[in-house]
A and B are shown apart, each in its own frame.
Chain A
Amino acid sequence: MSAFFAHSGLDSVEGWFFYLGAAVAVVGALMTVLSRSPLRGALWLIVSLCSVAVLYLLLGASFVAAMQVLVYAGAIMVLFIFVIMLLNLGPDAGVRPAYLSVAKVLGLGAAAYFTFQIVTSVSGGKAQAVDGTVKAVGTLLLGNYLFAFEAISVLLLVAVVGAVVLGMKRLT
């Protein structure tokens, strides 16, 4: 029994927090999909994103965890909710029943595939804590992944310019 505890990580506070965070993340993600009201779905997604931030924190990636909450929960999801409230979307708003069944089949297939992949690829053993300080992340972003970093910046700039152009057309 004690060997089981040691292997599962339940002998430490971090282990308990991991299982708590992981369970809440999974429940939040499931409820995001299963909620009939779009607004509740978006709120459950915030729960899921915050729980993933807890998992990052347990891995020592404090910068990524803070960014996860700041950017996703604090800004992007707020904009999502903002749009849902602005359009006043009710349950099943704008979804055709035919599309819904296709989406269900595709979604379940993708979920089954990824679950199989994840379960078969987990080898056991503890995850390695990383150096998650701002300095380490900065060195990686502006060193090893400089090209990808800059390419994504250009991509975002294109999206911003595109949004401005679309908005301008509406005005004139």
Chain B
Amino acid sequence: MQDLVSFLNSQLQTVFGLSETLFPYVAAAMVLAIAFGFTVFAAVYAGVFIFFERRIAGRIMSRIGPNRVGPQGLLQFIADAVKLIFKEDIIPTSADRPLFKLAPYLMFIGVVAGFAVLPFSHRVIAADLNVGLLYVLAITSITVVGVLMSGWASNSKWALFGGMRSAAQLVSYEIPSGLALLPAVLLSGSLSTQEIIMAQAGSPEHALTAGGWPWNWYIFHSPMMFVCFVIFFIAQLAEGARLPFDLPEGESELVSGYNTEYSGFRFGAYFTAEFANTWIAGALCVIVFFGGWQIPGAAVPSAEAIAASGATWTWFGYSIEYAGWGAFWLEALSFLFFIVKMAGVVFIIIQLRWTVPRVRIDQMMTICWKYLLPLTFACLFLILGWMIVLPWESTAALVVRIVMALAGAVLLALYAWRVRYNIHSAGDKVYPHWII
């Protein structure tokens, strides 16, 4: 995006004859425009996500789900949003008004600001910070403040209990989720999201070792790395308050938890933020463990070559000019790869919600502090040893990675077969069958 800003600046200068002193302000306006774009993107993603969630829930429960508004019910989320916006906005008389009003926005900001460092392709990223991963962890922790604030400001015991549970849960699970990302940081030697993705590549000389193949993903680096992914995934479920960790809003105990007293648009903001959070969870999984946007066999041009101009992508013997239209389609393809992988992760997050029961609060704490945390430390040390014994570039490490990737494929096939078996044995009434 930095490229984009400088490109637009040069266009402004040549086409409109704008003076150079205005550039910072034009850049600031463009940053605002990008931020607005992300907000809209998050809201639309949350809407589409809710549609998929309801349809998958329907399939799991042997019913159909929303299918009336738009083709296959795809526009249901717009109807829901209109309904929410036109609802009466109620603020309880005993509530702390300013804090009550502020809380949903803090939650929304915490989620949307995280999008800034999530890359969609080699060049499409809002800000490639050198502390990208830390930034995501830091900015999403702002949501805890929003949740606590709403719990307190509502002046309702259900909201307060929900807020307290949420704070305890989020602060606890931040630790295993941060530590599970650490091996990837050690392997790539960087906290930047782009550099972590580009480090998940073998030798660029051959198409079968260049980036993007499953055997170059960090998840298949070693068995411990796979455990790290599982730990990170569980911690992200807990941080997003998704089942089986949705204690902060346990309907059977707390009405709706911290957002009990909210209605109308404010409730909509909570709702959207919560669902948009699954994008961040899924994207982090894909970036750190599944090779991000890398296309199988495509070797990314080095930073020096790009700076020197005339750089090319190498893909199965073809050279694609970095500055040309070919690269545009290549980047569109890498965006597609990213979305498909992310959709897979998000699909599992949705499926878990409708298949596993909620854990108790003491079980939630036990899982985090007594199991996940020691396991993460053990994995971290074992991976450090593994890195010394089997360096990334060595042939032995490549063979191990290929074996791990094959095992992963078998696991995925077993999982798909099991899901199919369960749905069919329950007497699937959904027709046509290709619809989720």
Report which A residues bind B (CB closer than 8 A).
12-13, 39-40, 43, 46, 62-63, 65-67, 69-70, 73-75, 77-79, 81-82, 85-86, 133-134
Residue from the list B131, B138, B149 in contact with A74, Cβ < 8 A: B138
Specify which of B137, B152, B163 lies most central, judged by the most chain A CB atoms within 10 Å of its CB. B152
- The 9 closest A-B CB pairs, nearest first, are A74-B141, A70-B138, A69-B138, A66-B134, A13-B24, A66-B131, A66-B138, A62-B131, A78-B144
Given A70-B141, A78-B144, A85-B148, 17 more pairs with CB closer than 8 A? A43-B145, A63-B131, A63-B134, A69-B138, A69-B139, A73-B138, A74-B137, A74-B138, A74-B144, A74-B171, A79-B171, A82-B148, A82-B164, A82-B167, A82-B171, A85-B163, A133-B130
CA distance A164 to B148 in the complex (A): 26
Tell me if B24 and A43 are in contact (CB < 8 A): no
Residue from the list A62, A73, A79 in contact with B142, Cβ < 8 A: A73
Tell me if B174 and A85 are in contact (CB < 8 A): no
CA distance A27 to B302 in the complex (A): 46
Point out the residues of chain B lying under 8 angstroms from A81, CB to CB.
145, 148, 152, 167
CA distance A67 to B149 in the complex (A): 22
Tell me if B164 and A86 are in contact (CB < 8 A): yes
CA distance A78 to B163 in the complex (A): 11
Point out the residues of chain A lying under 8 angstroms from B137, CB to CB.
70, 74
CA distance A81 to B25 in the complex (A): 38
B244 CB to closest chain A CB, in angstroms?
A: 23
Residue from the list A43, A65, A79 in contact with B149, Cβ < 8 A: A43
Point out the residues of chain B lying under 8 angstroms from A40, CB to CB.
99
Tell me if A75 and B149 are in contact (CB < 8 A): no
Residue from the list B24, B145, B149, B170 in contact with A73, Cβ < 8 A: B145
Mind listing 28 A-B residue pairs with CB under 8 Å? Answer: A13-B27, A40-B99, A62-B130, A62-B131, A63-B130, A63-B131, A67-B134, A67-B138, A70-B134, A70-B141, A73-B141, A73-B142, A73-B145, A74-B137, A74-B144, A75-B141, A78-B141, A78-B144, A78-B145, A78-B171, A79-B171, A81-B145, A81-B148, A81-B152, A85-B160, A85-B164, A134-B130, A134-B131
CA distance A69 to B109 in the complex (A): 14
Q: Which residue of B lies closest to A69 (CB)?
A: B138
CA distance A66 to B192 in the complex (A): 13
Point out the residues of chain B lying under 8 angstroms from A69, CB to CB.
138-139, 141-142
A76 CB to closest chain B CB, in angstroms?
A: 10
Point out the residues of chain B lying under 8 angstroms from A79, CB to CB.
171
CA distance A79 to B171 in the complex (A): 8
CA distance A46 to B160 in the complex (A): 20
A58 CB to closest chain B CB, in angstroms?
A: 14
B130 CB to closest chain A CB, in angstroms?
A: 5
Residue from the list A12, A67, A78 in contact with B24, Cβ < 8 A: A12
A6 CB to closest chain B CB, in angstroms?
A: 12
Q: Which residue of A lies closest to B21 (CB)?
A: A11
CA distance A46 to B138 in the complex (A): 13
Within 167-182 of B, Cβ neighbours of A (below 8 Å) are at: 167-168, 170-171, 174
CA distance A85 to B168 in the complex (A): 12
CA distance A82 to B211 in the complex (A): 45
Point out the residues of chain B lying under 8 angstroms from A70, CB to CB.
134, 137-138, 141
Tell me if A13 and B25 are in contact (CB < 8 A): yes
Within 147-193 of B, Cβ neighbours of A (below 8 Å) are at: 148-149, 151-152, 160, 163-164, 167-168, 170-171, 174, 191
Residue from the list A73, A78, A134 in contact with B167, Cβ < 8 A: A78
CA distance A128 to B129 in the complex (A): 20
B75 CB to closest chain A CB, in angstroms?
A: 37
B422 CB to closest chain A CB, in angstroms?
A: 39
A95 CB to closest chain B CB, in angstroms?
A: 20
B28 within 8 Å of A (CB atoms): yes
